[in-house]
Amino acid sequence: MGREPPSHFSLTPQRVCLMDPKRWERALAGIDLGPRHYYQQVGSTNDIAEQKINQGSPDLTVIIADEQVAGRGRQGRMWHTPPDAALAFSVVILPQAGIVHKGNLSRLTGLGALAVAQALQDSFSIRACIKWPNDVLVEDKKACGVLVESIWKGDQLQGAILGMGININPRALPDPDGLRFPAISLEEAVDQALAREDVLAAVLKTMVDWYPRLDSDAFLQAWEDRLCWRGQDVILSVADAPQCQGRILGLDPDGSLRLSDPSGKVVSFQIGEIQLRPVDRS
Ligand code: BTN
């Protein structure tokens, strides 16, 4: 993509250093990214990414934190990131003609989820699927969440932030009592220790590979192919409405989920409108 290789990376130490950025940089070598910034502890990597956008940081700048003390998930939920247990990172995405624009922002959630699901399969032989819109499931439990936020000046898109949190080892999992959906770490799935930087490298490599094709039919197809419960019935929770059931058909070009309702009528829901649950877990 003609991007200059970053000349530096930075670490912002705020207490005892658990991360070794040199090791992480070795793992990321050769991936066409912007600068990487490593933090021992932050509120939320998405907030740091927003600051980087405001400071004029280049496309695909990556913010990586060992620990988040105010990590957030979708719909105002908290995201738990204790030290040395998870991957928490955010990627700066700048608007670019033909790649990212107002009209395809909703595909960025798919980009993050697809990159994780595909990288887990290709690099670690972990079977993973995308619980639309933003969760990656392993063994039917949540291993990763994606949070996309966008920055505007008036109606001008300044940039978007693709934030991803991946449970690497069991310490990353929050108290199960507070969970809406069961969670799993990748180390539980493979029954061995994993290096966080290797998982990050696999995910970012896959993301960077799809990124220039965000607008393509091939991207939409790959995203759709990895949906959990495709062709199966799911329970839909729609805000302020009784739960209903539908069969997952696929995705519309804007990333909306297409389902058939029990009468056979085809309906689409945009990201943020509904929550899904498989029928047999309700
Ligand atoms: C969700 O499942 O609701 C989305 C979770 C997204 C968590 C990641 S961790 C890195 C980035 N920083 C945050 O504060 N949130 C995202």
Bridge partners of 17?
none
Query: How many Cβ atoms are within 10 Å of 208's Cβ, its own excluded?
Result: 17
Residue 99 Cα to ligand 1 midpoint, Å, equals 23
Asked if residue 77 has its Cβ within 6 Å of ligand 1, the reply is yes
What order do you get walking across the sheet with 257-260 strand by strand?
266-269, 257-260, 244-251, 233-238, 274-278
Q: What angle do CA 219, 257, 240 make, to 5 degrees?
A: 150
Blockwise average pLDDT, block size 10, the chain, 282 residues: 45 58 96 97 97 97 98 92 97 94 95 98 98 96 97 95 97 84 95 97 98 97 97 86 88 95 91 79 49
Residue 186 is predicted with a pLDDT of 98
The model's pLDDT over 79-97, given as tens digits with 9 standing for 90+, comes to 999 999 999 999 999 999 8
Residue 138 Cα to ligand 1 midpoint, Å, equals 17
- Among protein residues, the one with the nearest Cα to ligand 1's atom 3 is 73
**Placement of tokens 């991360």 in the chain:** 19
- Please give the C-alpha separations between residue 244 and each of 133, 233, 272, in angstroms, as whole numbers: 18, 10, 16
- Overall size of the chain counted in residues: 282
Query: How many Cβ atoms are within 10 Å of 149's Cβ, its own excluded?
Result: 17
Residue 118 Cα to ligand 1 midpoint, Å, equals 19
CB 35 within 8 A of CB 106: no
Residue 9 is predicted with a pLDDT of 55
CB 26 within 8 A of CB 51: no
Residue 133 is predicted with a pLDDT of 93
pTM for the predicted model, two decimal places: 0.92
Cα torsion 178, 197, 113, 105: sign: positive
CB 89 within 8 A of CB 173: no
Non-local CB neighbours of 9 within 8 Å, separated by 6+ positions: 21, 25, 35, 36, 37, 38
Residue 11 is predicted with a pLDDT of 56
Asked if residue 147 has its Cβ within 6 Å of ligand 1, the reply is yes
Residue 155 Cα to ligand 1 midpoint, Å, equals 25
CB 229 within 8 A of CB 250: no
The model's pLDDT over 37-55, given as tens digits with 9 standing for 90+, comes to 999 999 999 999 999 999 9
Angle separating helix axes 196-210 and 107-124, nearest 10 degrees: 130
Asked if residue 164 has its Cβ within 6 Å of ligand 1, the reply is yes
Asked if residue 145 has its Cβ within 6 Å of ligand 1, the reply is yes
